[in-house]
Structure 1
Amino acid sequence: MNVTHAAVAQQVRRLEEWLGVGLLFREGRGLSLTADGKILAEGLLEGFSQIAETIEMVASGGRDRPLNISMTPSFAVSWLMPRIGEFRTKHPSIELMLNPSVDVVDFRRDTIDLAIRYGDGDWPGLISAPFIPARFTIVAAKSLVQDRKIDSPQDLQDLPWLQEMGTREALQWLESQGVDLSSRKLNVTHLPGYMLLSALRAGQGVACTTSVWVEEDIAAGHLVSLYQEDSSKSYHIVHRPSVLRPEAKIFIDWMKQTERRDRQQATTSMGGE
């Protein structure tokens, strides 16, 4: 422990003074515990043993529990699910718990290891790393818009809208653009995030989403980008500032390698056309 006998003796004397009782007495060439010293030693031994058992229980629980990952439903449907089979094949020993949700993650309360969230990455008290850059966009099927003239956000009020359950993205965006919704109720369908993109592509309404999930549809002419924010927002990998579990590090590395590979393949494919 790199502590001298003199230093230990000094600490024992301070403890005796604080307790007001003797803990050791000299016996021959050695030291023995007094009656009070024996009581204290037995109690401390029991206490430290309980602490050690509790730490081991918590640690083993952390090692044995699944890797818990929270993500937005759109991210789950568009990016993760088409690729997750590859991860499971490469790492069959890592048990996963995938939680698609728009709810705010409380890392202090919930046993969540990683979260994938969209934004500017400024979440105090957490570590966030940009993963996929994506602009916030208002988009609709070409079959829905047809030849309608859209010069301002006000021109979108008569169209049906799609909004992910648990959010107010559509209403908040329209209000931020100065659209007065007090005199006219918007035709909104609230639906789970995993259904939103399918409904959007089917021409069932205008929707707020991120450009990365619809850029191929826009390029093919199936969807029309009506408005797009010029911002530097991204999907971020978010976690506590504490040390990551080994399984979480493996998952993050796999995500980054997979996205890098897919982007390179997409670039190569475009260059060959």
Structure 2
Amino acid sequence: MDWRDIPSLSALRAFEAAARLGSLSEAARALNVTHAAVAAHVRALEAEFGQSLLTRAGRGMVPTQAGAELARDLGTGFAEIAAGVRAMRQGREDRPVILTTTPSFAQNWLMPCLASFWAAHPDVPLTVQTDQNMVDLRREGVDLAIRHGKGPWPGLEGMVLTPAKMVVVAQPGRFGPAPEDPRSKAAWSRVVELPWLLDQSHSEFNKRLIRLGIDPERLTATALQSNALLLPACRAGAGVSAQPLALVETDIADGRLEVLAEEAESDYAYHLLHLPGPLSRRAQTFVTWLRRDSQCIALGT
């Protein structure tokens, strides 16, 4: 189809509304534009086609024979477009909410929360996809993403889900008593001398160690392929690990890990992100629950 053969869609829509409603004023109200704008669109079409499309009839307007034929065809075409849009929207509403995040965040923060969500909203299916790399939400058809960092993320909207302050944790008592002040320089100087466990899959965490004055290359460390391997080893006493507090807060509360050093403050966080524009009803239900009803937010603050 050559779009150069088709007049302005705005003009065609204005004419179709005027012919169907029998009034330029009514068409203007229906389209939320001015009377003058509708009249200008109709005149432009009449000039392009070289014939009248509407004529006056009392206080209203009626289509000419040519105008009636054009209005009928436009009505049919616009109805098909509207049906296609409704089908797309309905398909979006009916499919599961798709959320992407990292394996570690899903395992240690998100999944423990979801039983209560599914209990409260059994009619909202949720698919959680895990990937260490960032996913193109538009190309992959993903509704929501949880990402670690400072932001912003161009082309995405969202909110801070939970802070990501860094802590160094270990099995309780494994390396002596926990410090009275884990934010002190002495606490950080001490953990540098301990055996470490490093996550090879998440280089951003190791970069954060450098910002804290710790060179991962100079640590006595064992590198593991993922946090899924690292955290069980840390709980078992194999070494210390630097983790965003959100990922280990439950472990700390339950006595499986203790904090040996703690970042004083941080502008890092986990962000809940989505493409610009309104979310589907189901996705909005999940976001509202996460912000208002989820106990996970309380854990992460």
Is it true that 1:69 corresponds to 2:138 in the alignment?
no
The 5 A counterparts of 1:229-268 are 230-255=265-290, 256-259=292-295
User: For the residues of structure 1 that align with 2:198 and 2:219, how far apart are their CA atoms?
Assistant: 17
Structure 1: give runs of 5+ residues left out of the alignment: 264-273
The two structures, once aligned, show a CA RMSD in angstroms of 4.0
CA contact (8 A) 1:126 1:241 kept: yes
* Cα distance in 2 for residues equivalent to 1:180 and 1:82: 31
Report how far residue 135 of structure 1 moved: 0.7
Q: Say whether residues 1:4 and 2:25 are aligned partners.
A: yes
Displacement after TM superposition at 1:62 (Å)? 0.6
Asked whether 1:21 is paired with 2:42, we answer no
Paired letter, 1:94: V
State the AA in 1 paired with 2:64.
S
| Alpha carbons of structure 1 residues 21 and 129: separation in structure 2 relative to 1, 3 Å | same
Is the partner of 1:81 in helix, strand or coil? helix
Relative to structure 1, the CA distance from residue 3 to residue 236 in structure 2 (aligned partners, 3 Å threshold; closer, same or farther) is: same
Q: Count residues in correspondence.
A: 254
The code of the aligned residue for 1:209 comes to Q
Task: Find the counterpart in structure 1 of residue 164 from structure 2.
Answer: 134
AA aligned opposite 1:225: L
Give the whole-Å Cα distance in 2 for the aligned partners of 1:252 and 1:139.
31
Larger mean CA deviation between 51-60 and 169-178 belongs to: 169-178
Aligned amino acid, residue 239 of structure 1 = H
What amino acid does structure 2 have at the position aligned with 1:21?
G
Partners of 1:64 and 1:221 lie apart in 2 by: 41
- Counterpart of 1:115 in structure 2 is 145
Normalising by structure 1, report the TM-score. 0.71
Give the Cα separation in 2 of the matches to 1:180 and 1:196.
15
- Contact 2:199 2:225 (8 Å CA) reproduced: yes
Relative distance call for 1:237 and 1:258 in structure 2 (3 A) is same
1:136/1:262 Cα in 2 relative to 1: closer, same or farther (>3 Å)? closer
- 2:86 aligned counterpart, secondary structure: helix
Query: Do the aligned partners of 2:109 and 2:296 also contact (CA within 8 Å) in 1?
Result: no
What amino acid is aligned across from residue 130 of structure 2 in structure 1?
P
The one-letter code matched in structure 1 to 2:24 is: V
Identify if the C-alpha distance between structure 1 residues 44 and 76 changes in structure 2 by more than 3 Å, giving closer, same or farther: same
Q: Residues 25-78 of structure 1, C-alpha deviation per residue, up to 9 Å, x if partnerless?
A: 87x9965323xx577556534532332232122111111110112233233222
Q: CA deviation at 1:99?
A: 1.6
1:87-144 CA deviation, whole Å, 9 max, x = no partner? 2122111111112333224333332222223333533443332333331233344677
Correspondence for 1:93 among 112, 118, 123: 123
In the alignment, which residue of structure 2 is the partner of 1:48? 78
Shift of 1:225: 2.7
Cα offset for 1:153? 7.7
Distance 1:164 1:68, change over 3 A: farther
Contact 1:16 1:22 in 2 (8 A): yes
| Larger helix share, 1 or 2 | 2
SS in 2 for 1:93: coil
Q: Does 1:211 align with 2:245?
A: yes
